[in-house]
Amino acid sequence: MTRRLVFGALLIAASALFLYPFLWLLGASLKPRSQVFDNALVPHRWAWQNYVEIWRAAPVLDWLFNSVAVALAAAVAVTLTSSVVAFGFAYFRFPGRNALFGLVLATMMLPGAVTMIPVYLIWDGAGLANTQVPLWAANLFGSAFYIFLLRQFFLGLPREMFEAARVDGANYWTMFWRIALPLCRPALVVTFVFELKASWSELLKPLIYLRDPDLFTLPRGLKSISDQFGQGGEQQWEIVLAGSVLTTLPMVVVFFLAQRHFIRGIATEGRKG
């Protein structure tokens, strides 16, 4: 009993520690300009007009739609393509399979800064430099990390089940689509949520590829808001913080909606690994 109480107290303390920055951000976004950095979690005077000002100062709704479209496209693309490749590595037995899989994993060792310029030149040569396509289209080729994650799950599925499906006349695509994918739903949710969060908070790619403000995603738009209101001249950090809250809240909602599948997938992957 004492152990459970201590464990519960540690969880509460850790939760409070992780929640404090977000609660501070939320409180500061609702303060008047003179009180933004007074370090009080609860505003002494509520300034709801900060959120009205952020909508007036920038096309936040357009940036929100852009972020949703890019994040969904990136998450769906990498989940489907990575699962196809992972199933191939898990099911098929062919010479050099382990070496090829090791080569795929080796791509994770390559820093993104090394490929940044060549990749930009490819997209620029294709005439897609000032579009949202480079923000998600690379995911059509899968991701080494997600391929590894999903392969470990597929390896845990009974091979006899697929052999029985082959005897019944199922082809490889049917086995993948009707058997493997439904059974690995928790792992797919983990992959989808990971990539959704990563794409949603991505700033570097929009900074490199997007020049038209109408194409900005929320992080890129928040950078322009920070440049406009947070640096030089009359600093209006309450506007910047309100934009930060609008950028953060959607991912909080996504996690709460998917937490049951997400936690189950993490626990399952931990057992498979």
78-111 pLDDT, tens digit each = 999 999 999 999 999 889 999 999 999 999 888 8
Is residue 52 one of the residues assigned to a domain? no
Give the C-alpha separation, 270 to 261, whole Å.
14
Do 20 and 98 share a domain, yes or no? no
Do 90 and 33 share a domain, yes or no? no
Total tally of structural domains belonging to the chain: 2
Do 31 and 119 share a domain, yes or no? no
Q: Which domain holds residue 31?
A: 1-47
Is residue 102 one of the residues assigned to a domain? yes
Is residue 156 classed exposed, middle or buried when 0-12, 13-18 and 19+ CB atoms within 10 A define those classes?
middle
CATH number at residue 243: 1.10.3720.10
The reported pLDDT for the residue numbered 273 is: 46
The reported pLDDT for the residue numbered 41 is: 85
Give the C-alpha separation, 47 to 57, whole Å.
16
Low-confidence residues in the chain, pLDDT < 50: 270-273
Q: Are 67 and 217 in contact (CB under 8 A)?
A: yes
Is residue 154 one of the residues assigned to a domain? yes
Do 32 and 130 share a domain, yes or no? no
Chain segment 229-263, per-residue pLDDT in tens: 876 556 788 888 999 998 998 888 888 887 776 66
Is residue 138 classed exposed, middle or buried when 0-12, 13-18 and 19+ CB atoms within 10 A define those classes?
middle
Give the C-alpha separation, 225 to 240, whole Å.
6
Do 23 and 133 share a domain, yes or no? no
Two tokens, residue 195: 């990539």
Is residue 204 one of the residues assigned to a domain? yes
Is residue 149 one of the residues assigned to a domain? yes
